[in-house]
Structure 1
Amino acid sequence: MKKTLLTVTLAGAFAATAHAQSSVTLYGLIDTGLTYTNNQGGHSAWQMATSSTQNTVFGLKGSEDLGGGLHANFKLEQGFNLNNGTQAFPGDGFGSQAWVGLQSDPYGSLTFGRQFDVVNDLLGPLSAEANTWGGNMAAHPFENDNLAANSVVINNAVKYTSPTFYGATFEGMYAFSNKAGAFADNRAYGFALSWAQGPVNVAAGYLQFNNAGGGVTGTTPNGAISQGDGSANFVAQRQRIWGAGGNYTFGAATVGLVWSHTQIDNMAGVFSFGTGGYLPLAGTLRLDNYEVNAKYAITPAWSVSGAYTYTDGAYGSGTTVAYPAWHSVMLQTDYSLSKRTDVYLEGVYQHVRGAPAGTVLSEAMINTLSPSSTGTQVAVTMGLRHAF
C-alpha cells in the first residue's frame, strides 16, 4: 500500500513538472557597417551605420506550457545603436517590444503590451523593406506604410493572432490611448490576413491611427503611438493604411508585388531617422506605393536581390496643391559566412519630382539617413550582421 501511494505521488509530481515546462532565451541581432551617401544636407558623407537593413536588438523571450495546449509567452526586446550604444527608442527600457500573452493551440494567441502592428506582421514580409535582402534602407518614402522592420511600435496594444487554417492566418489589434477623457485620441486599430500554400504567399490588411504622436493638438503625445521616442512616423490627426501583396517562389528565385495606400490628414510633422527628430510638414498627403521585388540564391550561401518602388503622391496645404512622385531602387548582394553571420553590399537610389519647393517632400530622404538638399539621394552600405 505504501509503495503504491509513493508511486502515485511521484507520478503526479512528474506530470505536474511536465505540464509546467518553461524556457527563457536570450537572443539578439547586430547589424553594422559603413555607409556612403552622396548628399545629406548638401554634403557627401561616410558614416559608421547601424541597423541599415535589420534592427540591432537584444532581448529575452520565454514560454511556459500550462497544459491542455495552452502556453504563456512573453518578449522583452531593446533596440540600440551599435556605434554609440544609445537607445534606438530614447527613454524606453524595452522600446522594440514588450508584451505578454496566452497562446492556445486550437484557438490562437492574445498578447498585451508594446507590439508591432498587424500590417507589419503579415504584409511586411512580402516587401523588400521588411527582409534581410532589402531592409530598412529600402523602405518606401518616409516609411509611410509601416512595412519596414524599424517601423512604428504600438503601445497599449491588444492583439489576436489566429491559428493557421489551411494556410490562412488572421490578426486583429486595438491599442488604447490610456488617457482619461480622451479615449479616441492617439489610439490605433487594424486587421490583416495572410495565406501561404506551397510557392504562393499573399496578404492584405488595414491600419488606422487617430492622433498619432498627439496629433496637431498635442494632447496625448505618448498614447498608442508615441512622439517622445520617435515611434510616430507622422504626427497627424489621422493616418489610414491599406495594403495587399503577394510573391511566388520557383526554384532559387522569389518574385513579389506589393501595393499600399496611405492617407494622412492634418499633418504637423514627419520623423527623420537620420536627424533623430521631426521635420515640419503641414497639410494632407496621399501616397500610393507600387513595389516589385525579386531575390535569387546563386548558391546556398550567396544571394542577390533588388526592388523598385514607384510612389505616386498628392499633397494639399491651404492654397498649395502638388503631385509629387518618388522613384526608389534597391540592389543588394549577400554572402553567409555561417548560419548566424553574413556580409552584404547594398545600394539605394531615390529621386523625387513634382513636390512643392521648400518642404521636406522636395528633398530625397532614404530611410535611416538625413534628407538630401536636392531631389536625388544615393547611398551605398557595406555591412556585417550577426545573430545570437
Structure 2
Amino acid sequence: MKYKKTVCAAAVALFSHAAWADSYLQQLLSQWPSMQSAIQQNGISLYGAVDMGLNFQSVSGNSRWQTQSGGVHTSQFGLFGREDLGGGLKAEFNLENGFMANNGTFGTSNTLFDRAAWVGLNSATWGVVRLGLQPTATLPQFIDPFGEVMTNSVVTWLAGGAVQTPKGVGYNADLGPGSSQVLVRENNAATWTTPRIMGFGATFLYAFNGQAGVSPNASNQGVVASWTNGKLYVSGAYNRVWSSEVETASGVQTVRNDIYGVSAIYDVGSYMLSAAFQQVAPKLEGNGIARSYVIGATVPWGRNAVRASVVYRDTSGVRDAEGEPAKDSALGVMLGYDYSLSKRTSLYARAGFIRNYGISTVILNNNPLPVQTGTTTPELGTTPLTASVGIYHLF
C-alpha cells in the first residue's frame, strides 16, 4: 500500500529535472502556494491541502457510505525552507505531516512528520544531497493520473500489490514469505540527485534499516534515471528492497526483492498520456513474481479535467493454499472528473473497481474483502469498487 509522495519534493524534482514548458503537469504543480515562494527563493513556506469527500464502497454485496479524507490530495501541512549560501549552493529542509481531515487525527499514529523530514544541500553544479525521511528513487507518481493517492487509485492498490491474506494485508503477499514493494518514502535515507545534463538526470538512494544485528544494513538501495525533452519524460528504476525478518524454509531471514520499472509520460498541455511496467521478483526459492502494466490519460479543458487509468497485475510461480500452481491476476479501472473553482480549490468525482481472478485478493481503498465462512481466508473472485465526490483546497 503506497502513500502519496510529498508534493513539494515531487514538484521540485519535476521543475529541476524537466522543462515542462506549457505542460499540464507544470500548470498543476504551480497551483501549490509553496511553488510560488520558498521553493524558488530564500525563506520558509507553510503549505498544505485539506481534502474531504463522501465515499461509497462495495464488495460482494457488502457496502458502506462514509466521509473520507484524501480523495485527491492527502490532507497535509508542511514547512519547506531554503537558504542561499552563495556560490550556487543552497541549504534546504522539508517537514510534512499527513492527517485525516474527517477527524483531525495523525495519518500515522504518534508520528508528527510522517511524510517528510529531511535536510540537505542543493548545488547548481553538483546536484542535491538529502538526509532523512524522503521519497524513494522510483518511478514518478504522475504516471498515475490520480497521483497514487491512498484512496481513489487502482495504481496504488493493484500495482502496489496490496493483497489480503488470512494474516492481513501485505505487499505482494501472494508471492510468498518476505515479498515486498518499493515504499513511496523511506526513513533513514540518503539520496543524491544529479544535475540534469542534456535532458538526463538520476537519483541514487541508500536507506538504512536501523536494526542492530540485521544483515544487510540497507532496507532499500535504489536508482531512478530519466530523460526529457520537455514533452516526453521517460524513466527507469531499479530497487533492492529487503523485508523484515520472516520465517522461511531455511529459517528466519530477510528476503531481498529486486524491483524493476520503466515509465513514460507524454504531456502537451491539452492532454497527457502515461504508461508504465513494473516487476517484483523476491529472491527466495519458491516465491512467485508479479508484473504490473499501467496506462493513463488526462484531458484538461478550461476549468475541467477528465482522467482515466487501467492497471493489469499478473503473476507467475504463485501457489494456492494446497501448494498447487494457481492463476493469480487482477484488472483495475479508475475514472475521474475535476472542476476547478479557483487555482487552489476544486470539486472532484471518482469511481473505479478491481476485478480479482483466480486466487487474487487485492483490495481497493482500504476496504477489506469478506472472508470465507468460519475462516480468516478472504473470498476469491471478488470485485471491490469505490466511488467518491468531494472538494479540496490547497494553501
2:328 corresponds in structure 1 to 324
| Structure 2 residue corresponding to 1:215, chosen from 224, 230, 245 | 245
CA distance in 2, matches of 1:54, 1:111: 24
CA distance in 2, matches of 1:310, 1:113: 34
CA distance in 1, matches of 2:390, 2:155: 14
| Residue 294 of structure 1: how far off its partner (Å) | 0.9
* CA 1:264–1:183: 2 relative to 1, 3 Å: closer
| Residue 131 of structure 1: how far off its partner (Å) | 6.1
| Structure 1 unaligned blocks of 5 or more | 1-20, 219-234, 268-282, 356-360
Identity %: 29
1:84-104 deviation line (CA, Å, top 9, x unaligned): 222212221211110000110
2:204 corresponds in structure 1 to 172
1:41-87 deviation line (CA, Å, top 9, x unaligned): x5201011112332211111101111111111000111111112222
State the AA in 1 paired with 2:212.
Answer: A
| Residue 135 of structure 1: how far off its partner (Å) | 5.8
1:278-334 deviation line (CA, Å, top 9, x unaligned): xxxxx734211111111111x221011111111112323772322311110011011
CA distance in 1, matches of 2:108, 2:247: 23
* CA 1:83–1:284: 2 relative to 1, 3 Å: farther
1:353 corresponds in structure 2 to 357
Q: TM-score, normalised by structure 1?
A: 0.76
CA distance in 1, matches of 2:45, 2:264: 33
2:367 corresponds in structure 1 to 369
| Structure 2 unaligned blocks of 5 or more | 1-40, 163-170, 172-181, 371-378
Pairing 1:130-141 to 2, within 5 Å after superposition: 130=147, 136=153, 138-141=155-158
| Residue 217 of structure 1: how far off its partner (Å) | 5.6
The answer to whether the 8 A contact 2:335-2:352 is kept is yes
CA distance in 1, matches of 2:284, 2:67: 36
| Structure 1 residue corresponding to 2:260, chosen from 227, 242, 267 | 242
CA distance in 1, matches of 2:124, 2:242: 33
| Structure 2 residue corresponding to 1:112, chosen from 131, 151, 154 | 131
| Structure 2 residue corresponding to 1:341, chosen from 342, 345, 367 | 345
Q: Secondary structure at the match of 1:128?
A: coil
* CA 1:57–1:91: 2 relative to 1, 3 Å: same
The answer to whether the 8 A contact 2:262-2:277 is kept is yes
2:92 corresponds in structure 1 to 73
Write out the 4+ residue segments of structure 1 that deviate beyond 6 Å after TM superposition.
Answer: none
RMSD: 2.8
| Structure 1 residue corresponding to 2:271, chosen from 245, 253, 271 | 253
CA distance in 1, matches of 2:50, 2:382: 32
| Residue 159 of structure 1: how far off its partner (Å) | 0.5
CA distance in 1, matches of 2:57, 2:279: 29
Pairing 1:86-165 to 2, within 5 Å after superposition: 86-119=105-138, 122-130=139-147, 136=153, 138-141=155-158, 143-144=160-161, 152-165=184-197
| Residue 186 of structure 1: how far off its partner (Å) | 5.8
Determine whether 1:29 maps to 2:49: yes
The answer to whether the 8 A contact 1:136-1:368 is kept is no
Pairing 1:21-60 to 2, within 5 Å after superposition: 22-39=42-59, 43-60=62-79
| Residue 123 of structure 1: how far off its partner (Å) | 3.1
1:173-215 deviation line (CA, Å, top 9, x unaligned): 001122333251561110001111132111110112112xx23
* CA 1:136–1:123: 2 relative to 1, 3 Å: same
CA distance in 2, matches of 1:31, 1:189: 33
Q: Kindly indicate whether structure 1 or structure 2 has the higher relative contact order, using CA contacts under 8 Å at least 6 residues apart.
A: 2
Q: Secondary structure at the match of 1:118?
A: coil
* CA 1:323–1:242: 2 relative to 1, 3 Å: same
1:384 corresponds in structure 2 to 391
State the AA in 1 paired with 2:99.
Answer: F
State the structure with more CA Rg.
1
Pairing 1:270-309 to 2, within 5 Å after superposition: 284-297=287-300, 299-309=301-311
CA distance in 1, matches of 2:328, 2:194: 39
The answer to whether the 8 A contact 1:127-1:258 is kept is no
CA distance in 2, matches of 1:101, 1:205: 23
2:233 corresponds in structure 1 to 201
CA distance in 2, matches of 1:43, 1:302: 33
Bigger strand share: 1
CA distance in 2, matches of 1:141, 1:265: 21
The answer to whether the 8 A contact 1:144-1:262 is kept is no
- Size of the aligned set, in residue pairs, is 321
* CA 1:177–1:370: 2 relative to 1, 3 Å: same
